[in-house]
Chains A and B, each alone.
Chain A
Amino acid sequence: MSFINYSAREIILKIVYYGPGLSGKTTNIKYVHGATNPDARGNLITLETKAERTLFFDFLPLSLPPIRGFKTRLHLYTVPGQLFYSASRKLILKGADGVVFVADSQAERFEANLIALEDMKENLAEYGFDIERIPFVIQYNKRDLDNVTPVEELRAALNPWGVPDFEASAAADGGPGVFDTLKAVVKIIVRDLKNTK
């Protein structure tokens, strides 16, 4: 739910990183945090278990250059990927302007990706959102590891809609694909808002 404050000349967009447990959602936003100019980012909040698994959410506020006199801010959230945190995932998805689905490319996580995507579709539907209409991109993460499923296979299973999708290695040096994914979803959100009357 985009937030526009004419008094503060400010636009805020909420982007949620969704995906199965350990697919690299937190790693994505930690990379963004580390690679962004300190002036353009706020504090990274991680609510995690002692074993460093996301318990509720991670949160990173980012500032983009002003456009048309409006300060533009992104609020990035991750959901907890583990299956039993379903209730929390649903809460965090509420009000999202756009969604990034972070898939785990490892062959043994193929099924987990499908389950998480189905879970996301259901949660979106409960808020009255259609996955085909909400700004949405997919990231095939961990491409740097061995034993990864070919992108074509992942695409066939996870992206029947043909939404923009990206290969990434969020934990690797230079975080290839991380910013491409984020830029793509922001562009789709803004274009979508532009066309919304």
Chain B
Amino acid sequence: MNPRIVIFEEEQKQLEELCVRLMRDSLAKAIFLLDRNGQIIVAIGDISGIDTTSLASLVAGTTAATSSLAKLLGEEEFPVHFHEGKRDNLHISLVDSEHILTIVFDQRSSLGLVRLRVKKASERLVEVFKVLSDKQSREANSNVFNEITDEDIDNFFSF
């Protein structure tokens, strides 16, 4: 069966703090920290009016496609890809093999500044994800699904 990704409150708080600091340092409009399947871990900044769930799934899709392109060309990975718009730009980078950092920024910032700040922040994010990964292994037996009854499952689709 697939391994599961578990986020605990302590690490969630640390990841949020790192993203808040990155947003301030990079003069970004919004920051999304995702896993490679497109699940949102942190979404901060000016995100009103953005369908964040759709954004996350599309970023995961484009990252997966970019990664496959890299392999086709004999590269291990294209860890960064960038989309330039008239108003807003999107900087997408791999934090580690399982997490994606997405920065939305406009003319108040610059690609150079974002790249620099992302690189530094990624190092700290990797440290937190490492702690999280160890914690997941240790607490593998505490399974939230254990408490779910067959009746709960039957009642899932009440809409």
Contacts and interface: CB of A to CB of B under 8 A. Distances in A.
B156 A183 contact: yes
Contact of A190 (B4, B5, B35, B148): B148
Interface residues of B, number: 43
A186 B156 contact: yes
Interface string A50-89: 0000001101010011011010100100000000000110
A10 to B, nearest CB: 9
A157 interface: no
A91 B145 contact: no
Interface residues of A, number: 52
Contact of A197 (B39, B140, B157): B140
A5 B53 CA distance: 15
A23 to B, nearest CB: 21
Interface string B12-27: 1100000000000000
A65 B155 contact: yes
B109 interface: no
A95 B2 CA distance: 7
Determine chain A's interface SS by DSSP, over half rule: mixed
A45 B58 contact: yes
B54 A43 contact: yes
B145 A42 contact: no
B2 A129 contact: yes
Contacts of A72: 156
A4 B147 contact: no
Task: Name the 5 nearest CB pairs between A and B, nearest first.
Answer: A7-B12, A95-B37, A91-B64, A3-B39, A193-B145
Interface of A: 1-8, 11-12, 14, 36-37, 40, 42-43, 45, 47, 56-57, 59, 61, 64-65, 67-68, 70, 72, 75, 87-88, 91-92, 94-97, 129, 133-134, 179, 182-183, 186-187, 190-194, 196-197
5 contacts: A4-B5, A56-B61, A59-B57, A65-B155, A194-B146
